[in-house]
Amino acid sequence: CGQERGVAQGEATFLGLRLSHVGKGFVISAKASSACVQDGVSAPITVKGRLVFAMQPSDTDVGHAVKVVVHVQDSQGRRVETCDTLIAVAIKPQSPSMSLGGGKSTRMCHAGEVAFDDLFIDTPGAGYVLTATAKDLTGIVESCESKPFTMTARLIIVQEPRDMQVGALFAVGVKVQAANGEDVNTAAPHVSLSLSREAAGGVLKQVVNGIITKRAMRGEASFQELSVEVPGTGYVLIATSESSFIASARSAPFAVHGALAFTTPPPSQMFMGATFCTAVQVHDDWGRRFAGGATAITLQLDEASPHGRLEGNNSIRLERSEALFGSLMVPHAGRQFRLKATTDNEAIAPAVSPPFDVTAKMYFEQSPTKVNVSESFAVRLCTKYPDGTRYKDQYDVTLRLAKECRGALLGDLTQMVDADGWVMFPAVCVDTPGSGFTLEAISSNTGMLPATSHKFDAIANFVFLQNPQTHVAGAPTGATVAVHDVHGKVVPVNAEVSLSLPAAASPSSEDSGLVWPGLFAAQVVNGIAECPDIPLSGPALGLTLQATCPANAAIQPATSSPFDRTARLAFRELPAVVEAQSELTVEVVVRDCNDEIMVLATPQVHLQIRDDPDAAFTGVQLCGQVTVQAVRGRALFSGVYFNTAVHKGLLTARCVDNAAISPVTQGIDARAYLRFATQPQGPVDVNSPFGCRVQIVSAAGAQLRAQTPLRLELQAGASSGVLAGLVSRGGTESDGMFSEAVFAGLSIDCPGAGYVLTATAVNNEAVVPCTCEPFDVTGTLCFAEGIPATDVSDAFSTTVEVVDYQRQRVPKAQGRVAVHLLDHEVGSATPQSTWHELVDGAALIDGIRIDTPHAQHVLCAVGDRPVVLAAQSAPFGITAQLRFCPPPRTTDTNAPFDLAVEIVDCHGRRVLSSASDVTIALRKRDSPPGTLEGGLVQSIGTDGTAQFTGLTIDSPGKSFVMTATSSVLSIPQCCSPIFHSTARLSIEEAPSDGIPVWSHFSIKVVIRDANLHKITTVRPTIRLRFKEGCPSQRLGGGSISQRVQDGEAFFGELLIDTPGVYIVVAQADNEAIECAFSLPFRVEGSMVPSAAPAPESPPRIVLQSNVA
């Protein structure tokens, strides 16, 4: 630049020129020092360069940024520091992914260099290549490619396996993840699962389809229903990818547990010395069979087993997942033996077999056949193997009687086996007589089976210690019997002795009238039976008793010494009370001094009724056959009856043909019954007359005639009322006999529940009183006066009284009265649960407050007794007022706002219990056009307020008034203070900056709310003007005043005649709509030249000199 050269032969040469920029269209100008030589310019020149990655991308994790630096160089490899151009970096096609994220991939090159340090590639892969291109110098600056690089990632196991049972199903999830922990959803490699080589030879199995290699979808692979088939510890699950740029993952070590199980347990019972087999397998918790690997199974007796040892081959390796043990033997007797199977694999739990018993049998070699009680005898036993040899190991034997045998075995009853295998009991005896005794031999070793001897008998004898003595007939007969052993001592046995009369020694009952039950049984206690009263009756001579034991034939019978017994009318089972007019059977028997019936007596017996001086005994007769002949000592009177009620009667039976037989007399009553033929029909109003009828009847219900006055009275314990009217009635017929009494004009003067009338016969206890069904006498509550309308905060009082059927107060009414609101009404009355005592049948209830306004409240008065019927008051009103809290304020059109309406009393206090709805609305006559929207009906909450949220007004305007109306008619409507709804104009289309003066333009104005939504509900008129201070206030062309249509106004064909900067103001005739200002814009004027300039001469390329 600025080089000078001399002209030689009309030409100057410039060598070694260099341009410091790249680009095209460079022109070199040449200027001569002589003014006579015109300047010249060269043809356009293009200077090319190339892009080079000064810092190549390196292998990077997908979670880290890819960093590169690009230089602009010339052909000599020098950086072109004057080059400023846009450089774009992209991924070369055929790369694993074309998605390049992070920062901007196109950046401005400064001083020939640009750095990209925040680029991200979200897909792992190998062979990525970046390309760099100059955006503005395409074809001038050559693009370049980077060296291939790799984007790496890693696998993670998101659901690692834990310790599990062999064969148990588990699931594993594998994800592709970047180094920063973020999931790589774009990766889709094939993922394979395997177990580590040191994992005890386990096999990973996918039980559904055998596939443990899957392709990841969106960076995740899920493996379901996996299982490990061999127990072991230290398993590690490895997840690997087919792609080398995705690192594998290893799980934490886990164990796979199994358990040994006896598939063929030992027999539950075997004889000592017998061999047996068993089998052991590896199972899971559900009993499925699995391989156990190369492991040995060892059997031994469990620690809880009895003392002993296991003989045979007890250690075997698993073959085909099962170990078979044969020819095992336990050479000891015992119960609850258990085998324990163990293995050298700590992941396989040991197993304990079910219990089994090893038994041996004892034999009686010497036992008795028949012995006397308390007489000693010897016993010998032994235990044998199956081959007959005696078992000589140490064990003890205890001798006892079998459980079904009574008595005890005495002597040294526990012996040890001797060296020859014998167990000897030299002297034992039985202390109780009996037949079929058996001996049992048992051992403390429960494996020794008990032995039972042959049956044998133990003999004893009955002896009469006290013989029956001769005595007067009718006196008790006594005797004492004992059981003796062979030594004459009493055997303390408990049994039953039967006493009988031997047939040869007993006199005939036809001759003596002897009565004998056949057998008399008594209890033998500790060897002695006391028989103080043996049931013999009638005279007899030379009697003997025989004592036998039916239940024990081993006790021999005995016979007593001979003894003698030496020889009036009576009612038999005559009831003291019978029913009148009901047939009865009277049996009269002839008895001896022992009160036994003399079956040979046949006298003629007569019955008659006699009166007691204190009894009501008028018109009583005994009807039927009253004289009969006795047969075998019995006279039976059938079908006799009393014609009416009898009180304190005396029934006498006498012998007609034998004065030596004394008569018998017994008191008897014949009952009759009173019956209410008509019952009082309850409930009965207090003081209201009612009546009833009472009849005298038999037990069968037939009416009887009797001369007995009847009386009615209230049963004791009923309410405190008094029975008034005719309460006593006597006979009405000529003979004074009657069968029915009528009671009329009865009344009760006090309400009460369970009144019962009792009808009784005066001075005749044989007539059974009767009671009517319980009935109620009711009164009715009544409000003495009406209840006026009251404010919700004010208290009022009322009087409640009890009245009868004529609406007259009942002074004797007692109890308590309370008032409450009807169940279907809202709110509650205070006090509601306070009871007020009735005084002279009335109660004053004051201090009543109702906490809920309502137009038709009704009070209900109830008593604490059901016989006092409830009453309702006439409807009355409880008033309150509505109030906005706080009142609505100025708001934007369509902007949601909240408000609350509360119910207050006349003092301004909030009413907290009013179950009503409140409706709000705009008052049309005072408010501009507009609609209130939202939840306009809300219920009063427990805090006494109705909350309205999300309310909107769809039109702007001034002086809105809102009303609140309650669903309760007694609450008047309220109005809110005046509030406003605002909107704003928006100039949507305005003249652009720099418009020429006198050129036409247009303006569009839109009415919008706070959310910039168009408002179409109003149609104000909008006028355009310039803001004060503009160069001109004259806006010409079209109309500057338009009426809004669909929320917008369009002003066209406008023009301005004066240049300058202007601001247009749009103003509506609605004060609630804010005006709008346009952005400042410039109106320009221009000057027109008088002549166009001459075209420039074409440039000259060659420098020439004027030779002349």
How many residues are recorded in the chain? 1108
Judged by average pLDDT, the poorest of 96-110, 200-214, 661-675, 770-784 is: 200-214
Q: Give per-residue pLDDT as tens, 345-381.
A: 888 889 999 999 988 888 998 888 888 888 889 999 9
Highest mean pLDDT pick, 50-59, 510-519, 609-618, 712-721: 50-59
Which one is predicted more confidently, 737 or 778? 778
**The residue type at 889:** R
Q: How far is CA 383 from the centre of its chain?
A: 63
pLDDT at 333 over 90: no
**CA-to-CA distance for 859 and 849, rounded, in angstroms?**
11
Mean pLDDT, range 425-430, rounded to an integer: 91
Mean pLDDT, range 232-241, rounded to an integer: 86
In contact, 786 and 794? CB cutoff 8 Å = no
Find where tokens 């030879």 sit.
Answer: 201
Q: In this predicted structure, what is the pLDDT of residue 513?
A: 41
Q: In this predicted structure, what is the pLDDT of residue 508?
A: 39
**CA-to-CA distance for 493 and 481, rounded, in angstroms?**
12
pLDDT bin (cut points 50, 70, 90) of residue 204 is: low
- Residue 512's φ and ψ, nearest 5 degrees, are -115, -10
Read off the pTM.
0.38
Strand extents, DSSP E, 376-454 = 377-384, 396-401, 409-411, 414-416, 422-430, 434-437, 439-442, 448-449, 451-452
pLDDT bin (cut points 50, 70, 90) of residue 69 is: very high
pLDDT at 524 over 50: yes
Which one is predicted more confidently, 231 or 1097? 231
Q: How many CB atoms neighbour CB 136 within 10 A?
A: 14
Let me know the angle formed at the C-alpha of 268 by 266 and 270, rounded to the nearest 5 degrees: 85
The two three-digit tokens of residue 409, written as one number: 């075995």
**CA-to-CA distance for 349 and 283, rounded, in angstroms?**
10
Mean pLDDT, range 475-504, rounded to an integer: 82
- Residue 984's φ and ψ, nearest 5 degrees, are -150, 150
Q: In this predicted structure, what is the pLDDT of residue 507?
A: 44
Q: Give per-residue pLDDT as tens, 846-880.
A: 888 887 888 888 889 898 888 888 888 888 888 88
Name 210's Cβ contacts closer than 8 Å, sequence gap at least 6.
none
In terms of C-beta distances under 8 Å and separation of at least 24 residues, what long-range contacts does 99-108 make, across chains too?
99/123, 99/186, 102/65, 102/66, 106/135, 108/84
**CA-to-CA distance for 611 and 615, rounded, in angstroms?**
7
DSSP tag of 170:
E
**CA-to-CA distance for 877 and 855, rounded, in angstroms?**
4
Q: How many CB atoms neighbour CB 280 within 10 A?
A: 28
Mean pLDDT, range 519-533, rounded to an integer: 85
Mean pLDDT, range 1056-1083, rounded to an integer: 90
The two three-digit tokens of residue 96, written as one number: 């694993």
Q: In this predicted structure, what is the pLDDT of residue 735?
A: 56
Q: Give per-residue pLDDT as tens, 650-703.
A: 889 888 876 667 888 988 888 999 999 898 887 899 888 888 899 889 888 888
Mean pLDDT, range 749-755, rounded to an integer: 87
Let me know the angle formed at the C-alpha of 301 by 300 and 302, rounded to the nearest 5 degrees: 115
pLDDT at 1087 over 50: no
pLDDT at 142 over 80: yes
DSSP tag of 18:
-
For residue 1093, cis peptide bond before it (omega within 30 degrees of 0): no
Percentage with pLDDT > 90 across the chain: 15
Q: In this predicted structure, what is the pLDDT of residue 1101?
A: 44
Q: In this predicted structure, what is the pLDDT of residue 503?
A: 60
Judged by average pLDDT, the poorest of 205-209, 637-641, 957-961 is: 205-209
Q: How far is CA 294 from the centre of its chain?
A: 51
Mean pLDDT, range 228-251, rounded to an integer: 86
**CA-to-CA distance for 28 and 42, rounded, in angstroms?**
5
Q: In this predicted structure, what is the pLDDT of residue 207?
A: 41
For residue 596, what are the CA distances in angstroms to 536, 542, 649, 657, 870? 10, 20, 27, 21, 72
The two three-digit tokens of residue 242, written as one number: 């087919």
**The residue type at 1027:** K
Mean pLDDT, range 105-125, rounded to an integer: 88
Which one is predicted more confidently, 686 or 33? 686
Name 972's Cβ contacts closer than 8 Å, sequence gap at least 6.
881, 882
β pairing state of 190-195 and 213-215: antiparallel
Q: In this predicted structure, what is the pLDDT of residue 506?
A: 47
pLDDT bin (cut points 50, 70, 90) of residue 612 is: low
Q: Give per-residue pLDDT as tens, 274-309.
A: 889 999 988 887 878 877 666 788 999 898 888 888
pLDDT at 114 over 50: yes
pLDDT at 147 over 90: yes
Q: In this predicted structure, what is the pLDDT of residue 1095?
A: 43
Q: In this predicted structure, what is the pLDDT of residue 964?
A: 92
Which one is predicted more confidently, 1097 or 965? 965
Q: In this predicted structure, what is the pLDDT of residue 315?
A: 87
Q: Give per-residue pLDDT as tens, 762-810.
A: 878 888 999 998 888 899 999 888 888 888 888 888 999 999 888 888 8
Mean pLDDT, range 186-203, rounded to an integer: 73
Q: In this predicted structure, what is the pLDDT of residue 1103?
A: 46
pLDDT at 728 over 80: no
Q: In this predicted structure, what is the pLDDT of residue 307?
A: 82
DSSP tag of 210:
S
Per-chain mean pLDDT for the chain:
83
Highest mean pLDDT pick, 593-607, 614-628, 962-976: 962-976
Q: In this predicted structure, what is the pLDDT of residue 198?
A: 57
Mean pLDDT, range 17-23, rounded to an integer: 79
Q: Give per-residue pLDDT as tens, 503-518.
A: 644 443 333 344 455 5
